[in-house]
Structure 1
Amino acid sequence: MASRPIAYLDSGLGGFPYFDASRRALPHLAHVYYADTASFPYGERAPAELSAIVTSAVDRLIADFDPMMVVVACNTASVVALDALRATFALPFVGVVPAIKPAAERYGTGPIGLIATTRTVEDPYVSALIRRYAPESRVVMVAAGGLVDRIERNGADISASELNDVLRGPIATLATERVRCVVLGCTHFIHVRNHVQSMLGDGVALVDSVEGVTRQIVRVAGADNSQPSPSPSPPQSVLVLSSRAEIPAAYERIARSRGLLVHRAEEGAP
């Protein structure tokens, strides 16, 4: 690649909302999305195991693509492994954590809902976020981990009936608690944001971290990379999959719609 790319890491397709937003903000830079599909799903891994998996994936990303930064585009991986990554590698990392702070700033004492994977809901890091940024708020946390598998198979094309089956219980709990807003605490869930909103109703706001994380990515990229230089065409961005299995249809659609080069991790840099 002619310039050092921005790299994004998730166990699946969940991080694409961050990839897309940053690519719109920085279209003149190359972007590499590393889907660690061989280790999917991150959300069900024990913390020590997940930290080792993510560290290995970042090591491979650095060796193959020499990125200017790595965006850990997964709430669970960020919560579990971000500190270890920053201690291990000498490059910037941008993490993705549940948007508790903006939710508390906008909606005060709440109640605030958080819907995420079981691992994220149970992690002490999230409790620490609530104590730090929403100490006066009542936060209702619900897990909907079964949704991740379905979105991974289908992307945003998952059927309404499937979504209803998985979300009915968690949404009912949030409705009973009369939450004012719901934080989408898993990147996969952003793909079905509109359906979640329809189930919650217009009176409940949805909050995610895409806008804030994108601003941070632009800041980390720095002034030298914030403005495009004259170029005949934008740089080629890449989708990397770590699994050797057949490329799933959802990834084929994503790559085709975004003009991405699809690459296998074991092949090295393209």
Structure 2
Amino acid sequence: MKHTVLIFDSGVGGLSILQEVRQLLPNLKLSYLMDNAAFPYGIQPDDILLRRIVNVCRSAVEVLQPDLLIIACNTASTIALPALREQLAIPVVGVVPAIKLAANSAHGGHIGLLATPATINRTYTDDLITQFASGCTVHRFGSSELVLLAEEFMLGHDVDRAVIDHIGKWIDSTPTMTHIVLGCTHFPLLTPLLQTQWPKIQWTDSGTAIARRVKQLLPVTADDTQSGDLQLSWTAANQMPSAAENFLSQMGSIAHAAPLLVKEFSYT
């Protein structure tokens, strides 16, 4: 029996994590869940987000019965990971900005952190920098606009000029950064554009590390070589996520696509 992994985000950003998991572990059954009814997360209060994330994820786990849950959103991970691990009987993997990875390669130089304003300003992020990048100079840039541009990009819109203009001033006005951490899972979707425009910068994200962690938690049997099914769920019943559907269909046929009914759970 194939293992099933549920990958959760508010929008299309978690597809960057799904892509890495699919590449490393093509045998897994992958189910992508978008809370598009509450998108975007980065501008909402933490207490509201905590209840929302727990309700959505518990509803999905109850219906889809996955073996593992990935919270493929930095904001959601920093807010809800402890609560989800306490309430769910399956492993829950979160994402954090790949500050340690960038700092280990930067050798005391200048690195950038490109994330949502919520992630940029969290104490959790301060602690990551203190623990893993104290020898580097870390330049932060918080952007909610880049999240929306990534969503537009996934819909097939031309956002190249807007992306370049949006972060170009920050890059140009900052001491030369050898690495920039993409601290929102939406941002790696723009990596081809970023690499083309700024080829000397190493654009770093946590997707590969998350895929390796899944491999540790869900070892594959030798005879399990057939590609796993793909599924798609979303919370805005009247808003079919066409960008996610198109992205997934490039990896294979989508076995199931349907809206998710979110239940209210009581928890402390």
Deviation, structure 1 residue 228 = 4.7
> Matched residues in 1 for 2:160 and 2:143: separation?
11
Residue equivalent to 1:27: 26
Asked if the contact 1:4/1:65 (under 8 Å) is kept, the reply is: no
Deviation, structure 1 residue 64 = 0.5
> Matched residues in 2 for 1:156 and 1:207: separation?
24
> Matched residues in 2 for 1:158 and 1:186: separation?
20
Asked if the contact 2:20/2:211 (under 8 Å) is kept, the reply is: yes
2:178 is aligned with what amino acid?
Answer: R
Q: 1:207 aligns with which of 204, 207, 218?
A: 204
TM-score under structure 1 length normalisation: 0.89
Equivalences, count: 260
Is residue 252 of structure 1 aligned with residue 245 of structure 2? yes
Deviation, structure 1 residue 139 = 0.5
Deviation, structure 1 residue 190 = 0.7
**15-24 or 32-41, larger mean C-alpha shift:** 15-24
C-alpha deviations, 1:122-171, integer Å up to 9, x for none? 11111111011111211000022112123224417331xx3432442433
**179-188 or 24-33, larger mean C-alpha shift:** 24-33
Where do 5+ consecutive residues of structure 2 fail to align? 264-268
Q: 1:190 aligns with which of 177, 188, 193?
A: 188
2:188 is aligned with what amino acid?
Answer: I
Is residue 46 of structure 1 aligned with residue 45 of structure 2? yes
> Matched residues in 2 for 1:235 and 1:217: separation?
15
> Matched residues in 2 for 1:264 and 1:228: separation?
34
Give the alignment of 1:113-192 within 5 angstroms: 113-155=112-154, 157-159=156-158, 162-177=159-174, 178-192=176-190
C-alpha deviations, 1:62-107, integer Å up to 9, x for none? 1011111100111111122212222222221111111000001010
CA gap 1:267/1:182 in 2 versus in 1, 3 angstroms: closer
> Matched residues in 1 for 2:117 and 2:224: separation?
47
> Matched residues in 1 for 2:262 and 2:204: separation?
38
> Matched residues in 2 for 1:127 and 1:163: separation?
31
Where do 5+ consecutive residues of structure 1 fail to align? none
CA gap 1:18/1:263 in 2 versus in 1, 3 angstroms: same
Asked if the contact 1:79/1:125 (under 8 Å) is kept, the reply is: yes
Q: 1:229 aligns with which of 223, 226, 244?
A: 223
C-alpha deviations, 1:172-223, integer Å up to 9, x for none? 2233222111011111111111212233x2222111111111101110113x
Residue equivalent to 1:265: 260
Asked if the contact 2:55/2:262 (under 8 Å) is kept, the reply is: no
Say which structure is richer in helix: 1
Which 4+ runs in 1 deviate beyond 4 A? none
Residue equivalent to 1:241: 234
> Matched residues in 1 for 2:17 and 2:39: separation?
19
Structure 1 vs Structure 2 CA RMSD: 2.1
CA gap 1:265/1:172 in 2 versus in 1, 3 angstroms: same
